[in-house]
Structure 1
């Protein structure tokens, strides 16, 4: 991706960030979205919603995306792994308490260690994905083949892969949609067999500086559902909760 400034000067697009609303899936083009890379000039903002950073010299880019209505996202992006031809990265912003959610949206709020990561896994109700082939970690393998018959857009999604243990899959981009080949931001910690492995979406956010968190939840069905809730901070705390569908639920990890 290259831009011609004049006959003698060309600029190179090092990173093109597309920001999406994780709740609705729509591209965010609001002027209130702030996208920055540490030490870099402001991005070129395109009408299609892309924030394009030009001529970045570093391999690792410290990316920050902020908005009043969403939880901030911070990501260390490996530009070399992203690819030089079309270096597009999708960032999905999670709604904050200021987001205008529809009446009757199921949500979860509570207290956790400030800055800790809160994960919600509702494995009994959500749509499962599965591996197309065994995953082998050798050679720092960042490619994974996920059976995705509906061809859902998984770019920027966070999934949980489960088979005698749990690990997060950060889907960075789609390499081959027809053959269900996806690129992760890093290799998994271990090998996974196709048989017996479940892959499910994860609802995730971070507790703010006051130790408060908020997560809206969707596609859980019409009946109350049991979910596993985890806080990952200086220690890991796991709790179970039965969510009341259509209501604001509360769960505290700390007193």
Structure 2
């Protein structure tokens, strides 16, 4: 059941956070991924190894998708899957910023049924199971009900504000902010600290799966850039951008071209 999976994810996230913190601010070895996919550190690999051992040994029938593991496609034939980002926000981790996260999710029938996003350096753990609400360190979360994009606070990046993306050639005059981790951005929306987040680039499943459930269980919406439902465990594990928000989500979607 989802609650059992959530308990497993929480336990694994705690252990993974301990491993990551042993590497944090120690300047671990860094490599550049192929195809301009960004940096990866020995901490990413160490966390990935721990999670693979903990989660796959506990649920050997579940498929596996991780940013730091080769994807052989075997997950496509399984009923449930783990979707894992060992360190979301590796650049922040390297820069000694606190804004990196570990994101874990369980998928069933292409939907997220359990998710955890933990920020060990901040002492924050966001969690949700389908139909059971979302929490931060055990306290229930709720999105904001702001409806006017012009008065909203939105987590996004400058390229998403380009005229070509918006009806009328310009975005609404919302205030913007940034965090390195996509998973953390989604959780901040679930927490009600920001009204929405959006990214218009193709987004990897491991960055957004856990956060998508946390937002929706906090009463919000998480869709692709067209407003379509987010579906996971795709053969090519990317979605067409992400809009996550509370009351402002429909208006933000309508404002996009």
What range is the shorter-chain TM-score in? Answer: under 0.3
Scaled by the length of structure 2, the TM-score of the pair is 0.28
Greater relative contact order (CA < 8 Å, ≥ 6 in sequence): 1
Q: Which structure has the greater CA radius of gyration?
A: 1
Considering fraction of residues, name the structure with more strand: 1
Considering fraction of residues, name the structure with more helix: 2
Scaled by the length of structure 1, the TM-score of the pair is 0.28
